Amino acid sequence: MSKLFTPLELRGVTLANRIVVSPMCQYSAVRGEATDWHMIHLGHLAFSGAAMLCIEATAVEPDGRITPGDLGLWDDVTEAALEPVIAAIRRYSPIRIAMQISHAGRKASSHVPWEGGQLISVADGGWLPHAPSDLPHKDDETPPLALDTAGLNRVRNAFAATARRAARLGIDALEIHAAHGYLLHQFLSPIANQRSDEYGGSRENRMRFPLEVFDAVRAQFPRDRPIGVRVSATDWVDGGWTPEDTIVFAQALKTRGVDWIDVSSGGVSPLQKIPLEPGYQVPFARKVKQETGVNTIAVGLITDALQADQILETGDADMIAMARAMLYDPRWPWHAAAQLGASVNAPPQYWRSQPREHKTLFGETTLGQR
C-alpha cells in the first residue's frame, strides 16, 4: 500500500490516511460567527476522503481577526454558531476535525483579499492592531500598539479559553498558528519583534511568548487529543527568521509534547522573495523531521498523487496538507486513491459513483441499483 494511504496515530486520534485539508480562510463569518457558508464549505470537504479537515484560522479574540469576516471562537455566541456545523459533519462523515487557532497581530483589521487586503483604518470601521512592537507590516500603514504585560496576559488567556471551547465542541485536534506573519510569528521574527524586555532580543526571548501560548493551550485541551504548530521555516528576508531558528523552536516544542510541526514559510514582510516551484517547502519539513524527530506536515504546491506519496515514502514528512488544490478538486483523495490502488471512505449515497475499473475505491462494498 502507498504510504499516503496508511494510517497514523496521534495520541488518541487515528487518521485513516496521511491527507489533511489545510485551514483556508473564507472571510465569510459575521462578528466571528460561522454562517451557512461554513456549513456548505466544510460539509463538502468532509466528503473529500482526506483523513483530517482543519477549520480555517479561528481568531481567539475579536482584535485578532485578519478581517472583519474572520471566523472566531471567543465567546458563547461564536461557539454556538459552530456547533451545528460540527454536528452535521459528525453525522455524515468520519473525518477527523481539527481547528487552527490564531491571532493576526499587526496584520489584523484588513480588507478581505478580493477587496485588496489593505489595512482598514479606524475611521473606516477598522481597529488598531496589537503586535510585539509598534512596527507596521508595511511602511505606509499606521503602527500597531505594542502589547504590554496586561495585553500579553489577555492574548495568552484568550488562546487557552479558545482551546477549552474547542474541546467542548468535540474538536479532535488543534493547530496553533505561528506562521505567515501573524502574531506568534511576529514574536519569533526579529523583523517584527524589537522589544527590549524578556520577550525580545535573543532568539530564546523571542520564542518565549509562543512557547507560553503552547503551554497554555496544551493545559486546556484534553491530553488524548493532539496539538500541532504551524511555522514559517524562513522569512525569505535577510536578517529574519531562519531554518536553523525553526529547528531550535521545534526542539523546544518537542519537549512540551507537540504532536506535529506544519512547515510553511514567509508572510512576515512584504520584502520576501520566495522561489515558487512544486514542493518548494518540502526541504524545510525534511530538515525539521530529520533533526527533531517530530511528525511534520509538508505543504506548498503539492498537487500530484505520486509527488505526495514520494514525499512520505522518502521520509521527508508524515502528512501532506492541501489547500488550493483541494478547492480546485474537492475529491482529490478519491482520485489519488484510484491512481495508487488504495481506498477511501465515502458516504453510501456516493458509492455508485466509482468507475468500474476502480470498483474497490470505497472498499469492498458494492451497491446494486434498482
Cell numbers at 144, concatenated: 500597531
Cell numbers at 23, concatenated: 485551514
| Statement: residue 369 has pLDDT above 80 | no
For residue 242, what are the CA distances in angstroms to 11, 132, 176, 287?
A: 30, 19, 19, 12
Torsion of CA 253, 157, 58, 18, to 10 degrees: 30
Catalytic: which of 182, 199, 328, 350?
Answer: 182
Q: Which CATH superfamily is domain 3-358 in?
A: Aldolase class I (3.20.20.70)
- Residue 298: phi, psi to the nearest 5? -95, 140
How far is the C-alpha of 179 from the C-alpha of 168, rounded, in Å? Answer: 26
Residue type, 136: P
Cell numbers at 317, concatenated: 514528512
Q: Domain ranges in the chain?
A: 3-358
In the prediction, which pLDDT does 354 show? 87
How far is the C-alpha of 61 from the C-alpha of 103, rounded, in Å? Answer: 7
Q: Is 182 a catalytic residue?
A: yes
Residues 114-128 pLDDT 10s? 999 999 999 999 999
How far is the C-alpha of 181 from the C-alpha of 327, rounded, in Å? Answer: 23
Residue type, 204: E
Pairwise pLDDT comparison (279 vs 113), residue with the higher score: 113
How much is the average pLDDT of 160-187?
A: 98
In the prediction, which pLDDT does 370 show? 46
- Most confident of the following: 81-85, 352-356, 359-363: 81-85
CB 278 within 8 A of CB 311: no
How far is C-alpha 265 from the chain's CA centre? 12
How much is the average pLDDT of 180-196?
A: 98
How far is the C-alpha of 186 from the C-alpha of 184, rounded, in Å? Answer: 5
Residues 229-246 pLDDT 10s? 999 999 999 999 999 999
In the prediction, which pLDDT does 364 show? 60
How far is the C-alpha of 261 from the C-alpha of 263, rounded, in Å? Answer: 6
Residue type, 233: A
CB atoms under 10 Å from CB of 205, counted, come to 16
| Statement: residue 335 has pLDDT above 70 | yes
